[in-house]
Amino acid sequence: MSWLVAVALIAVVVYSVASVRSSGSSSPPVPQATRVPTVPPLVAPPGPLLVPSATFGGSGSAALRLSQPQDALFGADGRIYIADTGNHRVVILNAKGKQTGVITQGTNAPLQAPFGLALAQNGDLLVLDSDAGAVFEYDAQGNAVGSTDASSSLAHARGIAVDPFGRVLVADPASEAVYTFSSSLQLTGIQQNIGPNGAELFDQPSTIATSPTHSIIVDDSQVGQIDLYSPAWQLLQSWAVPTPDTLHSPHVVALADGNVLITDPADGKLLLFKAGAAQPLAYSVPGGAAAVPLGVAIDSHGNVLLTCNGLNDVIEVQLSGL
């Protein structure tokens, strides 16, 4: 009878192994659905060529040599700030376009990769240093007066904006999140890519802007669209843009009348979406696709700054149709 017992024991072992192998714990993971665009792909229409009223920098400029600039911004008294990313600095120009200063230091170390610029409500300059994983604050004299701390865990953040309440928003594609800081640069919240209703909000957010109505605008860089959200992260509207990489993402400015300006780096254009319109008015940037227009800013007089990463310059233009 001993051989019958041995056979029975072998059968039990085989059954147990088969049961484990067929259990859910060892089955391959179910592939996750890939987020798809919610608006049709954009083919920007041809548009009139923009004529610069001023040009700052350029790789061949003796007065101001820029290298891979990412952003530019109007400051107080007509001042212009340029994130001269490849040269690891921020250049300061006066209202006449003359260089009057340069920022090369963070709070404790040299700037590494200044990617985004914003103005705090008190007029101070905010600089997002992507490689340092920090936001630095500078007063009117260019002195560092504050920064985010290491607990914010920013990896290689790309975009920065200040909302109407003075809060600082940072888009970080590496962690697929938007970070919120107080006006004193203390971390107050992190919005991951899953919204309040369980839907995916964005895939590698690279640039961010806010509107006068407190809405939040995010570049969904891997999907090829710009999304407009309510303050509670409910999707309100989307605009299609050519799919970029996170180093060359479209930038956005929300205007007071509900219109938005969006740069189109892939096609060398600036797009003006009228409120509620699905198709934009398009303006061609000098140099075309080689210009790689990234940053966009506008002042109270309607002057527009375009940061041309590919041509290493910043141009100032006036737009018809605003």
SS3 300: coil
| Count of Cβ atoms closer than 10 Å to residue 1 Cβ | 5
- CA dist 64 → 67, 87, 91, 141, 317 (Å): 10, 11, 9, 20, 19
Structural domains counted in the chain = 1
pLDDT, average across residues 45-62: 85
CATH code, domain carrying 83: 2.120.10.30
Angle at 98 between CA 92 and CA 102, to 5 degrees: 25
Q: To 10 degrees, the CA torsion angle through 163, 295, 276, 45?
A: 180
pLDDT at 64 over 60: yes
Range of the domain at 138: 44-318
Helix or strand holding residue 54 (H, E) = strand 54-57
Neighbours of 171 (CB within 10 A): 30
**Long-range contacts for 125-129 (Cβ within 8 Å, ≥24 apart)?**
125/73, 125/75, 125/81, 125/90, 126/160, 126/162, 126/168, 127/83, 127/90, 127/103, 128/157, 128/158, 128/159, 128/160, 128/170
Residue 35 lies in a domain: no
Amino acid at residue number 316: E
pLDDT reported for residue 34: 53
Comparing CA positions, the residue from 35, 36, 39, 44 lying closest to residue 239 is 39
Mean confidence (pLDDT) of the chain: 85
Beta strand pairing call for 281-284 and 293-298? unpaired
Q: Distance between the two ends of the chain, CA-based, in angstroms?
A: 96
Q: How many residues does the chain have?
A: 322
Q: What is the pLDDT of residues 28-53, one digit of tens each?
A: 333 334 566 777 777 777 889 999 99
The region of weakest confidence among 5-19, 225-239, 266-280 is 5-19
Whether 183 is in a domain gets the answer yes
Q: Is residue 33 assigned to a domain? A: no
Lowest mean pLDDT among 138-142, 207-211, 219-223, 313-317: 219-223
Residues 113-158 pLDDT 10s = 999 999 999 999 999 999 999 999 999 989 999 999 877 778 889 9
Secondary-structure breakdown of the chain: helix, strand, coil percentages, each rounded to the nearest 5 = 10, 40, 50
Q: What is the distance between the alpha carbons of residues 174 and 154, in angstroms, rounded to a whole number?
A: 8
- Whether residue 175 is predicted with pLDDT greater than 80 in this model: the reply is yes
Domain contains 7: no
Q: Answer yes or no: is 39 within a domain.
A: no
Is residue 2 one of the residues assigned to a domain?
no
CA angle 74, 132, 296 (to 5 degrees): 25
Band of pLDDT at residue 303, cut at 50, 70 and 90: very high
Q: Provide the whole-model pTM.
A: 0.86
Please give the Cα distance from 288 to 264 (Å, whole number): 10
- Residue 129, strand partner residues: 114, 134
Asked whether residue 307 is assigned to any structural domain, the reply reads yes
Are 229 and 221 in contact, with CB atoms under 8 Å apart?
A: no
Q: Does residue 97 belong to any structural domain of this protein? A: yes
